Amino acid sequence: MSVTAGITAVKASLEVAKLLSDKLSRPDIDVADIRAKVHEMLIHMVNAQVALGDAHAEISDLRGQLQDREKEAAIGASLEFGEDLYWKRTADHGLDGPYCPTCWDNDRKLIHLKFVAEGNFGMHEGRRKRYDCVLHKTEYFVPVGIFGPPRTIR
């Protein structure tokens, strides 16, 4: 149910309550009719309660989605792309990482790459650090020292 359905149910309940009030002020009260109107009013009130509960759940879900997007935007703003990998700028202006570009670009998941080894790898010039994405089975080779002191990167 929608919020509109809830408001409509409340409006119908108010109309039935007004009708009941008018009927109760008459000298010839039809008890069966009054009971039927009270029952109708209760049905409208239950419908209103259900609709407003559904609206509350939807609003909570939308707030959660908004918070997730705000967190994702904050993470994205702190990322820097270099040597085909993502690096996260820390509060002390160091770099944390590296992070898998496929995980971030496709799934918006910030997944650290696993450090495997440092050395000279035949297909690359100079000393490099090898990192692997355990999810995608992808290898990345980063020149040693390219991002400043080794303590700022993993």
Residues 90 and 70 in one domain: no
Residues 22 and 71 in one domain: yes
Residues 23 and 68 in one domain: yes
Residues 44 and 93 in one domain: no
Number of domains in the chain: 2
**Which of 76, 109, 124 represents a domain boundary (last residue)?**
76
**Which of 76, 106, 127 represents a domain boundary (last residue)?**
76
The per-residue pLDDT for 153 is 46
Residues 70 and 93 in one domain: no
Domain with 134, as residue range(s), is: 83-152
**Residue 140 identity:** Y
**Which of 16, 50, 76 represents a domain boundary (last residue)?**
76
The per-residue pLDDT for 150 is 39
d(CA 44, CA 21) in angstroms, rounded, equals: 17
**Residue 152 identity:** T
Residues 12 and 69 in one domain: yes
Residues 47 and 96 in one domain: no
Residues 90 and 129 in one domain: yes
The per-residue pLDDT for 131 is 93
Using the structure block, give the residue that is written with the tokens 């670009």: 105
Residues 94 and 145 in one domain: yes
Reference 2, options 49, 52, 42, 41; nearest CA is: 52
The per-residue pLDDT for 23 is 79
Q: What is the dihedral of CA 75, 76, 78, 83, to 10 degrees?
A: 120
Residues 65 and 95 in one domain: no
Strand-pair partners of 131: 115, 140
Q: What is the mean pLDDT of each run of 10 residues along the chain (154 residues)?
A: 79 83 82 84 86 90 95 91 88 87 93 91 83 92 67 44
